[in-house]
Structure 1
Amino acid sequence: MISFAECSARERLALLLDPDSFHEWLPPSERVMSPHLAQLGVPSAFDDGVAVGRATLDGHPVFVAAQEGEFMGGGVGEVHGAKLVGMLQRALRDRPQAVLLLAESGGVRLHEANAGLIAVSEVMRALLDVRVAGIPVIVLIGGANGCFGGMGIVARCADYIVMSDTGRLAMSGPEVIEASHGVEEFDSRDRALVWRTTGGKHRWLTGDCDALVEDDVAAFRAAAIAALGHSAPLTLATLEAEHLLLAQRLHALSSTDTERDDATQLWQALGVVDADQVPELSVEAVRALRII
C-alpha cells in the first residue's frame, strides 16, 4: 500500500496512470510561472503548482491535472487556473474518455486574490462545458491539504468524486472558519472535529462523494477506472435531485439537538446506527452504512 496523501503531485500521476503514459503540457522546463508572486517577493514554482497533460488509464485516453499541495497549499492563481482551463478546453476538442482532477488545494491564492477568483470561475465554466459535451470529469481527493475554497466548489461541479477517509472537502477551511467566527464556532486544532465535519467518511455518509477508498494509490486507481464511464447529465432532473438531497439533509438537521450540533448528530438523523462509532470504523464498514 502506497499512501496517496504522502505522495507529491507527480508521484501520484506516475502511480495512478498507466506506466510512462503521461505527457505533460507546459512542464517545469517551460518555466510558465505566476507574473505576480515575484513582484511580491514570494518564491515561484516553474509549473505554478499544477501539472496538466494527457495519459492513459487502463488503456483509455484521459486528460489529467494534479495540484501540488506543497506549493502554496495548492492555491489557485492566474497561471495555475489558466492551465486547468486550457486542459478542459482542449478536452472539448480532443474528446478523451474522461478528465481526471487530482485536487489538493486550500482555494484561491491570496497573493493573487482577484486573478485567482476569476481563474476559479473560469475553471468551473470550462468544467461544466466538458460535462455538457458528455465527457466525465472525475475528481480524486486525498491530499494532506484537502480540497477547500473555490476548488471545493469546482469538485462539486464534477460528475464523480472519489475520496479517501483521510481526504477533506468543504467550502471554507477550518482555519478560515475559526478566524472569521472564533474558536467557539469551530476549533481548527481539534483534528477529530475537523475530520468529522469535512472528512471522507462524512462526505460519503451525506452523499457528497461517490466512492470512499483507503488512503492507497492503488485504491484510487481502481476507483478512477470504475468511474470512467460515469457521466451525470446536466439536466433539470439532476438539479432537482441535488436540491432534494439538500432538503433532506436540512430536515434531518432540524430534528437534532442544536446545542450539540455535530456531524454525529446528522449521521444519526440520517439513519446511521451507533453514529458515535463511525470515526473508528474501517472504510469498508463505513461504505456499508450509507443510507442516501
Structure 2
Amino acid sequence: MSSYLEANARQRIHQLLDADSFAEFLPPAQRIVSPHLAQLDTPVSFDDGVVIGSGTLLGARVLAASQEGGFMGGAVGEVHGAKLVGLLKRAIQDRVDGVVLLLETGGVRLHEANAGLIAVSEVMRAVLDTRAANIPVIVLIGGSNGCFGGMGIVACCANAILMSEEARLAMSGPEVIETTHGVEEFDSRDRALVWRTTGGKHRYLLGDCDAVLADDIDVFRHAAGAALQRCRQSSAELTLQALESEHALLSKRLKDFGQLSEPMDIWSSLGIANPAALPMLEAEAFMQQVSSFRLGER
C-alpha cells in the first residue's frame, strides 16, 4: 500500500500512471517560475507547484497534472494556471483518451491576486472546452490541503470526482468562513465538524463526488481508470440536460436540508439509521452501506 495522502505530487503522478509511462512537460530543469513571487522576495518553485505531462493509465492515453500541496498549499498563480490550461489545450490537440487532474489546493495564490483569479477562470474554461471536445476530465482529491476556492469549482466542472475519506472539497475553507461570519457560524478548530461538512463521505452522500476511496494510490489508480472508461462510453460534453439535472439536484438539497446545519442531521434525513457510525467506517464499508442513500439515487 502506498498512501496517497502522504505522497508528494511527483510520487502520486508516477505511481498513478502505468510504470515508466509518464513524460513531464516543463520540468524543474527548465526553471519556469512565477515572476510575481520574486518581486515579493518570496521563495519560488522551479515547477511552480504543479507537475504536468503525458502517460498511460491502464493502457489509456492520458494527460495528467498533479498539484504540490507542499508549495504554498497548492495555490494557483499565473504560471501554475497557465501550465494547467496548456495541458488541457494539448489534450484537445492530441485527441487523448482523457485528462486526469490530481488536485490539492487552497485555491488562488493571494500573492498574485488578479493574475491568480484570471488563471483559475481560464482553467475552468479549458476544462469545459476539453469536455466539449468529448475528452473526459477526471479529478482525484486526497491530499491534506483538500480542494478549495476556485479550484473547487474547477473540480465540479469535471466529468467525475473521486475522493478519499481524508479529502475535503468546498468553495470556502473553514477558516475563511469563520473569519467572515464568526465562530458561531463555523468553528474551524472543530476538526470532526470540518470533515463531516467538507470531507469525502459527506460529498458523496450529497452527490458531489462519485466515490469515496481508501487512502491508497493503487486504489485511486484503478478507480480513475474505471471512471475514465465509463466516461468514454458516453459523451463527455456538458449537455443542457445534465446541467438541468444538476440544478434540480441542488434545488432538492436546498429544499430538503436548507434548515439543517449539522451534517449528521442531513445523513439522518437521507434515511441512514445510525449516522453517528459513518465517520468510523472504512471507505469500502462506507460505500457498501450508503450507496442506496445517496442524494439523487433514491
- Normalising TM by the smaller chain, what interval? over 0.9
What's the CA shift for 1:92? 0.7
1:40 alignment counterpart: 40
Aligned partner of residue 37 in structure 1, secondary structure:
helix
In the alignment, the residues of structure 1 paired with residue 159 and residue 53 of structure 2 have an alpha-carbon distance, to the nearest angstrom, of 20
2:13 alignment counterpart: 13
What's the CA shift for 1:284? 2.0
Question: So what's the TM-score if we normalise by structure 2?
Answer: 0.94
**Counterpart pick for 2:251 among 247, 250, 253:** 247
What's the CA shift for 1:181? 1.2
Residue identity matched to 2:37 = L
**Counterpart pick for 1:238 among 214, 237, 242:** 242
Matches within 5 A, 1:127-206: 127-206=127-206
1:124 alignment counterpart: 124
Q: Does the CA contact (< 8 Å) of 2:133 and 2:237 recur in 1? A: no
Residues 67-102 of structure 1: CA distance to partner in whole angstroms, max 9, x if unpaired?
Answer: 000000000000000000000001111011110000
1:215 alignment counterpart: 215
Question: Where do 5+ consecutive residues of structure 2 fail to align?
Answer: none
Residue identity matched to 1:39 = Q
In the alignment, the residues of structure 1 paired with residue 55 and residue 111 of structure 2 have an alpha-carbon distance, to the nearest angstrom, of 32
In the alignment, the residues of structure 1 paired with residue 230 and residue 75 of structure 2 have an alpha-carbon distance, to the nearest angstrom, of 28
In the alignment, the residues of structure 1 paired with residue 106 and residue 97 of structure 2 have an alpha-carbon distance, to the nearest angstrom, of 28
In the alignment, the residues of structure 1 paired with residue 51 and residue 214 of structure 2 have an alpha-carbon distance, to the nearest angstrom, of 24
Residue identity matched to 2:266 = L
Question: Where do 5+ consecutive residues of structure 1 fail to align?
Answer: none
- Which deviates further from its counterpart, 2-11 or 227-236? 227-236
In the alignment, the residues of structure 1 paired with residue 95 and residue 194 of structure 2 have an alpha-carbon distance, to the nearest angstrom, of 38
Residues 250-283 of structure 1: CA distance to partner in whole angstroms, max 9, x if unpaired?
Answer: 12114x5x5xx21111111122221122111221
Matches within 5 A, 1:84-123: 84-123=84-123
Aligned partner of residue 101 in structure 1, secondary structure:
strand
1:279 alignment counterpart: 279
In the alignment, the residues of structure 2 paired with residue 206 and residue 215 of structure 1 have an alpha-carbon distance, to the nearest angstrom, of 21
In the alignment, the residues of structure 1 paired with residue 157 and residue 14 of structure 2 have an alpha-carbon distance, to the nearest angstrom, of 26
How many corresponding residue pairs? 288
In the alignment, the residues of structure 2 paired with residue 267 and residue 241 of structure 1 have an alpha-carbon distance, to the nearest angstrom, of 22
In the alignment, the residues of structure 1 paired with residue 95 and residue 265 of structure 2 have an alpha-carbon distance, to the nearest angstrom, of 44
In the alignment, the residues of structure 2 paired with residue 216 and residue 117 of structure 1 have an alpha-carbon distance, to the nearest angstrom, of 32
Residue identity matched to 1:137 = V
Q: Does the CA contact (< 8 Å) of 1:136 and 1:230 recur in 2? A: no
Q: Does the CA contact (< 8 Å) of 2:25 and 2:52 recur in 1? A: yes
2:224 alignment counterpart: 224
What's the CA shift for 1:285? 2.6
In the alignment, the residues of structure 1 paired with residue 283 and residue 229 of structure 2 have an alpha-carbon distance, to the nearest angstrom, of 24
Aligned partner of residue 119 in structure 1, secondary structure:
helix
In the alignment, the residues of structure 2 paired with residue 129 and residue 271 of structure 1 have an alpha-carbon distance, to the nearest angstrom, of 38
In the alignment, the residues of structure 2 paired with residue 96 and residue 46 of structure 1 have an alpha-carbon distance, to the nearest angstrom, of 27
In the alignment, the residues of structure 2 paired with residue 153 and residue 246 of structure 1 have an alpha-carbon distance, to the nearest angstrom, of 15
Question: So what's the TM-score if we normalise by structure 1?
Answer: 0.96
Residue identity matched to 1:95 = R
Residue identity matched to 1:77 = G
What's the CA shift for 1:229? 2.3
In the alignment, the residues of structure 1 paired with residue 194 and residue 221 of structure 2 have an alpha-carbon distance, to the nearest angstrom, of 26
